[in-house]
Amino acid sequence: MKKQDITFGIHAVEAVLKHSPERVIELWVQAGRDDKRLATLIQMAAEYGISVQTSARKVLDEKSDNGQHQGVLARVKAVKQLNDNDLSALLDKIEVEKTETPFFLILDGVTDPHNLGACLRNADAAGVHGVIVPRDNSVGLTPTVSKVACGAAEVVPLFQVTNLARTMKSIQDKGVWIVGAAGEADSDLYKTDLKGPLAIAMGAEDKGLRRLTREGCDSIASIPMSGSVSSLNVSVASGICMFEAVRQRL
């Protein structure tokens, strides 16, 4: 497991300073860049006693693999990778407290970090308890994911599980209903009951849900589409599905 990682971009760095300042080892900012938002981050770092280094843009480009670092980059302690046991513990906690209804997003085979980052941002906005992905054939928490997530990666748990089908069965045993999204489904998303303990399962844009994942769902629903486009980007589709659940729960 990695001991250190890189976080870049104003929103991503601000989120880790706000939620987990103890993880930040040092801050790198672009020399000569006059930006009020950077000044705020530098002040936050100073309050926590975090070292701040100035550096040329070329150096930051190299450290962020030419990502859009916006003039700031942080070297951080790697976040703990959450797994099946952590997911089970969270469900048990929700069951004991009985103050919230379980709400999860399952992403099957999403390998594009930009898509995962956008899905995490959607998930945070929709108030889900966590995002579940398979450990293999799926992207994890990379610096690009954190950058695109605009801070959501710091607050939305990402559970990387060994066997997705088995994990789905285990959360079903705890009373969570799993609705899979598939374009060819006869059932309409807007006529599907999404108010109870719920996990929404989404597949990658090109392949959709894998067979075992689809078979593990309690029901399948489609997003009504009237245009000529046959499918939506997974982050867009996940946002539509999660916020339909939010609408019903309101």
Angle between helical axes of 164-173 and 84-97 (0-180°, round to 10): 20
Q: CB 146: neighbour CB atoms within 10 A?
A: 30
60 is in an annotated binding site: no
Distant-in-sequence, close-in-space partners of 69: CB < 8 Å, separation ≥ 6? 8, 9, 30, 60, 61, 63, 147
Return the residue matching tokens 């849900």: 209
Q: Is residue 106 annotated as involved in ligand binding? A: no
203 marked as part of a ligand binding site: yes
For CA atoms 190, 191, 192, 194, give the dihedral sign: positive
DSSP of 116-129, one letter per residue? HHHHHHHHHHHT-S
Q: State the Cα–Cα distance between residues 18 and 243, nearest whole angstrom.
A: 26
Binding residues for S-adenosyl-L-methionine: 203, 223, 232
Binding residues: 203, 223, 232
